[in-house]
Amino acid sequence: MKKLLDILTEEVAGAFEKAGYDSSRARVSVSNRPDLCEYQCNGAMALAKVAGKAPFMIAEDVVKCMEDSKIFKDIEVVKPGFINLNVNEEFLASYLLDMGKDDMLGVDKVSSPKNIVIDFGGANVAKPLHVGHLRSAVIGESIKRICRFMGNNVIGDAHLGDWGLQMGLITVELEERKPELPYFDENFEGEYPTEPPFTISELGEIYPCANTKSKEDEDFKEKARKATLEIQNGRRGYRALWKHILNVSLPDLKKNYDNLGVSFDFWGKESDAHEIIPDMVKYLKDGGYTTVSEGALVVEVKEDTDKKEIPPCMILKSNGATLYNTTDLATIVSRMKDNNADHIIYVVDNRQDLYFETVFRCARKTKIVKEDTELTFLGFGTMNGPDGKPFKTRDGGVMRLDNLVNEINEAVYAKIMENRETSSEEAKQTAKVIGLAALKYGDLSNQASKDYVFDINKFISFEGNTGPYILYTIVRIKSILSKYADSLNSSVDNIGLEGYEILSAKSACEKNLEMTLAKFNEVIVNAYEELAPHKICAYIYELSDNFNKFYHETKILSEEDESRKKSYIALINLVKATLEKSIFLLGFEAPDRM
Ligand code: ARG
């Protein structure tokens, strides 16, 4: 469906033309004086010079041509040449009816769908998920849903970190603890056990222990580095152990992401790139793209126009080892081959900005991507604690994601139990749903690139710009609708938009609510184009506020005029659908009661 503002603009542009003026400046925007009018057009002012006429006169000529407009009413010219406009209620109602009948609620899919790969999550195998991974997961999931909703072919890729030092650390730590295991015996030629030599909770203890050791003991760290290289080079026993680490970690990681309502279409890993690296290196060398710098194989990516220092993209270290760079570049190779990617989006911490800049430049320069393949670094800021420093546990440690989620859920649970008498089982389930919304909305309502403060009390509040407030609004509507359905001996699912008709006298708050609803497609397309879920948050906050104002001023169920009541019901049903679609795109859902 056309965006409302575009329809309004076309209407005014038509009048400019009819009056004999250039219509290219006839843009309609939301009024910046809502006390005077709903929309405005400032085109007459922009035209005055070229037309050699006073803006007021131009505006008057234009307005004369709109006298029988079915789209506008109360058209007014205001000095020095503003055209103030209100939208016709019948037209607005018919627009909303069309929106309500459409599965996409008026959003047009993109005309040519793209293959989009979204690299998010980025969890590291065998290391607990920490809050840094939360942002990638939450933002990435929403971007994935938005891109898919717009009709693209989207692949969410977890791109797990399984090729780094942590694997070597675990290996040497285990070797110290259980040297008798066959994995460490270089002469062992038999089959390795199929059972892993540790459980997930043991693994959860081994890694932090080895990590601490490596910080205190340079020798230990060196051993771990060596082991990491040996894993990468394919030492048989180490590889078998590495596989166990992966197999034990994966279900746990999946469970964690599941609890966040985050899913991936592809559980890619850094190690997947390993096999294609030799071919890629050959390609880079044969193409003449590489140079050798202090023994390392690099691709120079700096350009004369650079204002900052851009380091070369290192492909192989002087000892032949591969780097994070190398796997990322090779991963792009496979994304081109397997997914024919038109656009790859990386949802990663801001601090990797320069790193990705070099990788992207390298991929372009070496023609690993198509000329028109888009590469986007969607960097996110840090989640800070109330002290403004990166979020930590009370005793200063790194906060684990599952603990954070539990903390929120418990706080919400306590709140529910304090407010009403619900069975504790139901309250627990509801607390999970609300807690997740609180967490995600608290994150997503900020522009991704900015740091934000994690404030649990603010996030779980049922009032203000929070996830629970949005859910509360949806629950309120659900409850009105189910009472209405009960009164008809019907079910909520049978309530559609029937009866949504044009009522002459609309309250200002009702019309306001309608105009907000009508913006949905504009907001979603904008959030998609800018990869900005926070725009959806701002929108549903406004929509919820406008609904609640309407609700407080309007008797809905006790309205005596049946047709008016039906119209109200249809309207709030559309508000509910719009809010639900929006929170789906943000990655959470509403409970039935709260
Ligand atoms: N595993 C990395 C980390 O924890 C994030 C991976 C981001 N994605 C990528 N393609 N490099 O920092």
Query: Per-residue confidence at 172, pLDDT binned at 50, 70, 90?
Result: very high
Residue pair 196/244 in contact (Cβ under 8 Å)? The answer is: yes
From its phi and psi, is residue 263 left (phi > 0), alpha (psi between -120 and 50) or beta? Answer: beta
Retrieve residue 414's tokens: 């306590």
* Whole-number Å distance between alpha carbons of 478 and 493: 11
* Whole-number Å distance between alpha carbons of 460 and 412: 7
* Whole-number Å distance between alpha carbons of 287 and 293: 17
- Three-state secondary structure call for residue 352: helix
Give pLDDT, residue 502.
53
Residue pair 243/192 in contact (Cβ under 8 Å)? The answer is: no
β-pairing, 82-87 vs 28-30, is unpaired
Query: Per-residue confidence at 500, pLDDT binned at 50, 70, 90?
Result: low
Looking at the CA of residue 328, tell me the nearest atom of ligand 1: 10
Ligand 1 center–CA 122 separation, angstroms: 5
Distances (CA, A) of 265 to 155, 157, 520: 6, 6, 28
Query: Per-residue confidence at 193, pLDDT binned at 50, 70, 90?
Result: very high
Query: Per-residue confidence at 532, pLDDT binned at 50, 70, 90?
Result: very high
- With vertex at residue 269, the alpha carbon angle to CA 265 and CA 274, rounded to the nearest 5 degrees, is 135
Residues with CB under 6 A from ligand 1: 119, 122, 124, 159, 161, 328, 346, 348
Q: Which tens digit of pLDDT belongs to each residue from 268-281? A: 999 999 999 999 99
Q: Which phi and psi (to 5°) does residue 109 adopt?
A: -70, 160
Ligand 1 center–CA 100 separation, angstroms: 41
Looking at the CA of residue 324, tell me the nearest atom of ligand 1: 11
SS (H, E, C) 503-531: CCCCCHHHHHHHHHHHCHHHHHHHHHHCC
The residue to mutate among 352, 354, 357, 382, having the most atoms of ligand 1 within 8 angstroms of its beta carbon, is 352
The residue to mutate among 329, 348, 349, having the most atoms of ligand 1 within 8 angstroms of its beta carbon, is 348
Give pLDDT, residue 393.
74
* Whole-number Å distance between alpha carbons of 143 and 414: 32
Partnered with residue 156 across adjacent β-strands are 118
- The closest residue, in CA terms, to atom 8 on ligand 1 is 122
Torsion of CA 446, 452, 453, 455, to 10 degrees: 20
Residue pair 400/132 in contact (Cβ under 8 Å)? The answer is: no
- Residue 415: CB partners within 8 Å, gap ≥ 6? 460, 462
- Residue 580: CB partners within 8 Å, gap ≥ 6? 474, 589, 590
Q: Which phi and psi (to 5°) does residue 562 adopt?
A: -60, -40
Mean pLDDT of all residues in 2-10:
97
Query: Per-residue confidence at 494, pLDDT binned at 50, 70, 90?
Result: confident
The count of other CB atoms within 10 Å of the CB of residue 74 is 11
Q: Which phi and psi (to 5°) does residue 567 adopt?
A: -65, -40
Give pLDDT, residue 586.
98
Q: What's the burial of 380, exposed, middle or buried (CB within 10 Å: 0-12/13-18/19+)? A: buried
Q: Which tens digit of pLDDT belongs to each residue from 543-576? A: 999 999 999 999 999 999 988 898 999 999 999 9
* Interface confidence: ipTM more than 0.95: yes
Q: Which tens digit of pLDDT belongs to each residue from 105-157? A: 999 999 999 999 999 999 999 887 888 899 999 999 999 999 999 999 999 99
Ligand 1 center–CA 204 separation, angstroms: 20
Partnered with residue 130 across adjacent β-strands are 400
Q: Which residue has the higher pLDDT, 336 or 131?
A: 336
Retrieve residue 63's tokens: 């307005």
Q: Is the pLDDT of residue 418 over 70?
A: yes
What domains lie within the chain, and their CATH numbers?
4-87 (3.30.1360.70), 119-159+267-383 (3.40.50.620), 165-259 (no CATH), 467-586 (1.10.730.10)
Q: Is the pLDDT of residue 453 over 80?
A: yes
Ligand 1 center–CA 129 separation, angstroms: 12
β-pairing, 313-316 vs 296-299, is antiparallel
* Whole-number Å distance between alpha carbons of 1 and 147: 18
Mean pLDDT across the chain: 94
Residue pair 144/157 in contact (Cβ under 8 Å)? The answer is: no
- With vertex at residue 562, the alpha carbon angle to CA 556 and CA 563, rounded to the nearest 5 degrees, is 95
Give pLDDT, residue 501.
63
* Whole-number Å distance between alpha carbons of 292 and 295: 6
The residue to mutate among 346, 351, 398, having the most atoms of ligand 1 within 8 angstroms of its beta carbon, is 346
Retrieve residue 151's tokens: 């009709």
Share of the chain above pLDDT 70, in %: 98
Ligand 1 center–CA 138 separation, angstroms: 15
- Residue 218: CB partners within 8 Å, gap ≥ 6? none
- The closest residue, in CA terms, to atom 6 on ligand 1 is 122
Ligand 1 center–CA 378 separation, angstroms: 12
pTM listed for this prediction? 0.95
Q: What's the burial of 367, exposed, middle or buried (CB within 10 Å: 0-12/13-18/19+)? A: exposed
Ligand 1 center–CA 283 separation, angstroms: 25
The count of other CB atoms within 10 Å of the CB of residue 64 is 13
Per DSSP, the residues of 112-162 read S--EEEEE---PBTTS--BHHHHHHHHHHHHHHHHHHHTT-EEEEE--BB-
Ligand 1 center–CA 324 separation, angstroms: 9
Give pLDDT, residue 503.
58
What is the end-to-end Cα distance of the chain in Å, rounded?
35
Q: Is the pLDDT of residue 504 over 60?
A: no
Going by C-alpha positions, the residue among 491, 471, 472 that lies closest to residue 482 is 491
Mean pLDDT of all residues in 293-317:
95
Going by C-alpha positions, the residue among 547, 543, 588, 579 that lies closest to residue 442 is 588
Q: Which tens digit of pLDDT belongs to each residue from 41-70? A: 999 999 998 889 999 999 999 999 999 999
Query: Per-residue confidence at 495, pLDDT binned at 50, 70, 90?
Result: confident
- The closest residue, in CA terms, to atom 3 on ligand 1 is 122
